[in-house]
């Protein structure tokens, strides 16, 4: 008895969005010529015109589920399993991943460590590290990602910790500050791959949405992150 499935047919009514984004990402990554770019735009336009938007209802914003679907597809193709450790996004990234039919092919498990004590209890984050660097820090994010890999069967884990507001910010780390980390099972354990971003005060939901989108991008098999 499995509780999910390994088909992607539930999203098949939206291939245009997914393919569009993939194409656009490809274009951005490869810095293609203006002529090629024009061709690409035409392809995207054709896809839009020829594929009427069917009425698919999701519990989450379409852009989030679309990106989650790309993550599932790309990791399935790469034969990699993923895990997530969330603090300020509080489950939003995993909710998006599991909205995608067939998520069980790729998504293994995750932790929502909202309270500091939960970070300590569930992910073995040292209280000293939290006290020294703060719960929104490269050190804590990295330990969350590293331990999420250790405690699961995943090949890659991404961690998110930040200040979604409306309160909790200060001058040094205002509301909208979010730290991301990415850990690979086979990586050098001393390799710290974490990044701090400032989304500004987009409101609690807005900050959480942007943070979740960013975390999903980091779950792509070939994602890179600046050195923290």
Among 76, 184, 197, 204, contact with its own copies (rule: CB under 8 A): 204
Specify the residue, 44 or 120, whose C-beta has the smaller distance to its own copies.
120
Q: 135 is written with which tokens? A: 């719960």
Contacts with its own copies by CB under 8 A: the residue count is: 71
Contacts of its own copies in 72-131 (CB under 8 A): 81, 84, 86-95, 97-99, 101, 103-104, 107-118, 121-122
Q: What distance in Å separates the CA atoms of residue 199 and residue 163, rounded to the nearest whole number? A: 10
If one counts every other C-beta atom within 10 angstroms of the C-beta of residue 2, the result is 6
Pick from 178, 180, 177: which is nearest to 148 by CA? Answer: 180
Written as one string, the DSSP assignment of 83-106 is: EEEESTTTTHHHHHHHHSTTGGGT
Site for its own copies contains 60 (CB under 8 A): yes
Site for its own copies contains 164 (CB under 8 A): yes
Site for its own copies contains 152 (CB under 8 A): yes
Specify the residue, 88 or 143, whose C-beta has the smaller distance to its own copies.
88
Site for its own copies contains 13 (CB under 8 A): no
If one counts every other C-beta atom within 10 angstroms of the C-beta of residue 13, the result is 14
State the minimum distance, in angstroms, from the CB of residue 196 to its own copies: 13
């Amino acid at each position: 008895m499995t509780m999910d499935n390994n088909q992607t047919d539930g999203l098949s009514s939206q291939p245009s969005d997914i393919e569009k984004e993939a194409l656009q990402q490809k274009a951005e990554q490869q810095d293609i010529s203006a002529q090629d770019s024009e061709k690409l735009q035409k392809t995207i336009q054709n896809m839009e015109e020829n594929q009427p938007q069917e009425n698919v209802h999701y519990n989450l914003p379409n852009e989030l589920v679309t990106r989650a679907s790309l993550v599932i597809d790309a990791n399935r193709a790469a034969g990699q399993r993923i895990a997530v450790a969330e603090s300020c996004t509080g489950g939003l990234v995993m909710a998006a991943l599991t909205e995608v039919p067939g998520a069980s092919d790729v998504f293994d498990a995750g932790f929502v460590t909202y309270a500091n004590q939960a970070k300590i209890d569930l992910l073995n984050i040292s209280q000293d590290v939290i006290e020294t660097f703060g719960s929104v820090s490269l050190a804590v994010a990295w330990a969350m990602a590293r331990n999420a890999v250790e405690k699961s069967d995943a090949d890659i884990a991404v961690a998110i910790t930040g200040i979604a507001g409306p309160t909790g910010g200060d001058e040094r780390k205002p509301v909208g500050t979010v730290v991301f980390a990415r850990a690979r099972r086979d990586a050098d354990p001393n390799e710290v791959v974490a990044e701090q971003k400032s989304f500004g005060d987009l409101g609690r939901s807005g900050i959480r949405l942007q943070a979740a989108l960013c975390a999903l991008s980091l779950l792509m098999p070939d994602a890179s992150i600046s050195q923290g």
